[in-house]
Amino acid sequence: MSTRTAPALDPSADIVDLTAAIVDIESVSGNEKALADAVEQALRTHAPHLEVLRDGDTVIARTHHGRDRRVLLAGHLDTVPVAANLPSSRRLREGREELVGRGSCDMKGGVAVMLKLAVEAADVPMDLTWLFYDHEEVAAADNSLTRLAAEHPELLEADFAILGEPTSAGVEGGCKGTMKLEVTARGVAAHSARDWVGANAIHHLAPVLERLAAYEARRAVIDGLEYRECLNAVAITGGIAGNVIPDRASATLNYRFAPDTSVEQAEAHVREVLAGLDLEIEVTDSAPGALPGLDTAARDFLAALGGEVPLAAKQGWTDVSRFSALGTPAVNFGPGDPLLAHTDDEHVPVDDLTRALEGLRRYLLAA
């Protein structure tokens, strides 16, 4: 865990400058403390209208005006590992200004928008909860929202939630579920010069890869939004030396399934795809998806954004799923192209930052 002191954040700064400052505080999952400290300090210094709470490396800020409804706005502080893409930089490409750097898209641009508005929105027609949380990019069990839901569910109570995930400043409904599975093949160890007395476990994974390569993923249309499922091998391990036939080999699979499918149904489907093969299959991580949830609150949000705001399915998993499980309708809305999340060339267009900021500002003031 980092012990460094983060520079102060100025929420009154230009949105691009604020985003760059947040990006430059490295916060790979497990190392969010410095950024959480900076966010907490900014809120305590610049937002006297907010009650500010700290739970681990999660910062919660709330109004208590006695309004008849509460909206929760959440953004995760962590990123995937850095890939020579820090500190941030700016560039002009094809006539478009972009901020480049790890987390700029997923999702420090969204965090910057929310931090700026948390300070601005002192008197709006609803009560607000601002949630800046840790450990989103890792296993669901480590996500701080898992802890909050179990220990302090009152902090997550709301009538509507907005997750600042990258959506190119459009609205993305629901999310796909996710599941990781470890598929293990067994063999018999032997000297590689006498392979006929052994059985190669790595070779026994070949039928698994063949089935995955031939797999035709389902496309599910729900409330007019199309979710594309994906089932892939994402890692293979096996072998102990260059002259030993391996007696064990494993493939890690990741299944992204449409939100009309439960976790139990998702596991059953993967087992069906691999049926008949001599394998050990273990689910190591899973989280359900979330249906689009385009109820009245979401429609009001779309209307407040104004113009022809794109509406699409979220082709990934987000914490919209958690709020759906709590009975809270939720959508994804934030700056940045989701296709750039986790890439080495991760960046966010300046226009996205501006449109997301202005859209959320209109919603908060007009609601």
Catalytic residue among 32, 37, 134, 136: 136
CA distance 207 to 205: 6
Judge residue 267's burial from the number of C-beta atoms within 10 Å of its C-beta, 0-12 exposed, 13-18 middle, 19 or more buried: middle
Catalytic residue among 26, 32, 57, 78: 78
Q: 129 phi and psi, to 5 degrees?
A: -120, 125
- Residues of 290-312 as b/e, b for ≥16 C-beta within 10 angstroms? bbbbbeebbeebbebbeeebebb
Is there a catalytic annotation at residue 282? no
Is there a catalytic annotation at residue 344? no
Q: How far apart are the first and last CA of the chain?
A: 40
Of 8, 16, 19, 17, the C-alpha closest to 46 is: 8
Q: How many CB atoms lie within 10 A of CB 281?
A: 15
Catalytically annotated residues:
78, 136
